[in-house]
Chains A and B, each alone.
Chain A
Amino acid sequence: MSMWGKRQDEPAPKPVTIPKPVPVAPTPTEVKEVKKEATPLTSNIPLGKMEPDTQRGSATIGKAVKIVGQIYSREDLYVDGDVEGTIELMEHKLTIGPNGKVQAAIKAREVVALGTIQGNVEASDRLDIRKDAKLVGDIRTARIVIEDGAYFKGSIDIVKPEPAKQASKGQPAQASAAGSGAPLNTSEAKR
């Protein structure tokens, strides 16, 4: 009986920690130039406001944000804005939203494209090019899904997990980026 009363009078044994809202993405993202700041970089965007493919816990670059530089992320990333440079999410998933315009070399475990990508894409697990997406660049991936209506220009290199035959007769790989219209590398190569 006294036990219950005692507990009510006593102060809480441990201080309660209230998590602070994080105003910027917690990922080690290098932002060299942010031209628009209407939408902040954040991991805490309410799910209801995101596109259907956005998953809980992923960082988001909103549609009014433009980033020029290199992005490294240790969590999933949803890009609905403009990115120029490189994006690396080695063990994570990158989703380019329907408003996303990415002019970058991409490395990720999984890439889902609903918007526009110009640049080479390396998806160690899977690449998904949705109906209205546009991808111009060379692809290296283990699995690829291309919906009808998607636009793709470039090369597809399926990299199997197990060692496959490497009896290549000499591909136009050195010039593949230029040949397939990957603009980032094309412009660099021609300078």
Chain B
Amino acid sequence: MGAGGSLAEKIRSLFRAPRASGETVPVSRTAPPAGRHLSLRGGEKETVTSRQSRGLEQFFGYIRDQAGLTILDLGGASQANVNFITNLGHKLYSVDFLRSMEETFGSEDATDQSNPGQIEYFLRQNLDYPDESFDGVLVWDALEYMAPALLAATVERLHRITRPKSYLLAFFHSDERVAAVPHYGFRIQDFNAMQVAEYGSRRPAQLFNNRSLEKLFQRFESVKFFLTREHLREVIVKR
């Protein structure tokens, strides 16, 4: 019995999800297993990884039991995210921030994001909402590709258009010395799990540590960090 029990325990342990950043993450019953596979996105190769997300878990912890909220997704529309959020009964607003940045400021190599006129145009095109419109914002990793002037104006605008006590979920790479970081697309799979699709790499405009992130979101009430195995810092910001 005892031997059988220990064998069963060993088998069970083989199927447990890996731990993120040294912390035990409870595995959701509906969460897909962590894994990695290749697929094609418009003819472009992408590497897709499934993983747990404490940041997502925290974000949805605040909004999952309510319906009729208004959520802003800055990562562009993806079927998974649209389905997940609208199935919770929320209204989703979608903006493809990175694509819009390229359209406004040019391609990555010719980026000049300090022109005040262009910054104003960018904000008008993408974040022109009345004050306190949103109950949550999925920022993903969009802020990492913004130069200081554009970033400050964007964070200021996000503060304005979110309701008090609402939450932002943003990702930042934690490695402060890299020249290029993987370019990700994030697809929600469950309250605490998502698929991360990697499409090559991009050059970040800035890299952040905890201190600089706290400074960036200093107008917000609180900032909480979760470090992942992929050297991503998941940041939950409370308005």
Residues of A near any B CB (own CB < 8 A): 129, 131, 144-158, 164-169, 171-172, 174-176, 178-181
Interfacial residues, chain B to chain A (CB-CB below 8 A): 41-42, 66-70, 76-79, 82, 86-87, 89, 91-96, 99-100, 125-126, 128-130, 133-135, 163
Q: How far is the CA of A156 from the CA of B73 in the complex (A)?
A: 11
30 contacts between A and B (CB under 8 A): A131-B42, A146-B82, A147-B79, A148-B42, A150-B77, A151-B76, A153-B94, A153-B95, A153-B100, A154-B93, A155-B93, A156-B77, A156-B82, A156-B86, A156-B92, A157-B91, A158-B86, A158-B87, A164-B67, A164-B89, A165-B67, A169-B70, A169-B163, A171-B91, A171-B133, A172-B133, A172-B134, A175-B129, A179-B130, A181-B128
Nearest Cβ distance between residue B96 and chain A, in whole angstroms?
A: 6
Find chain A residues with CB under 8 A from B130 CB: 172, 174-175, 179
Q: Cα distance A129–B94 when bound, in Å?
A: 14
- Of the residues A156, A167, A174, contact of B94 by C-beta under 8 Å: A156
Alpha-carbon distance A145/B33, docked complex (angstroms)? 25
**The residue from B41, B67, B68, B86 contacting A149, defined by CB atoms under 8 A apart:** B41
A169 interface neighbour in B42, B68, B78, Cβ under 8 Å: B68
Cα–Cα distance between A146 and B41 once the two chains are bound (Å) = 13
Q: Which residues of A contact B163 (CB under 8 A)?
A: 169
Q: How far is the CA of A104 from the CA of B86 in the complex (A)?
A: 25
Q: For B70, list chain A residues within 8 Å (CB).
A: 168-169, 171-172
Given contacts A152-B77, A169-B68, contact A178 B93 (CB under 8 A): no
- What would 20 more interface pairs be, CB under 8 Å, given A152-B94, A154-B94, A169-B163? A146-B77, A148-B41, A148-B78, A148-B79, A152-B77, A153-B96, A156-B77, A156-B92, A165-B68, A166-B68, A169-B70, A169-B135, A172-B129, A172-B130, A172-B134, A174-B130, A175-B133, A176-B93, A179-B93, A181-B125
- The chain B residue sitting closest to A132, CB to CB, is B42
Q: How far is the CA of A149 from the CA of B95 in the complex (A)?
A: 13
Chain B residues within 8 Å of A166, by CB: 68
A165 and B89 contact, CB distance less than 8 A: yes
Nearest-Cβ distance from residue B97 to partner chain A, whole angstroms: 10
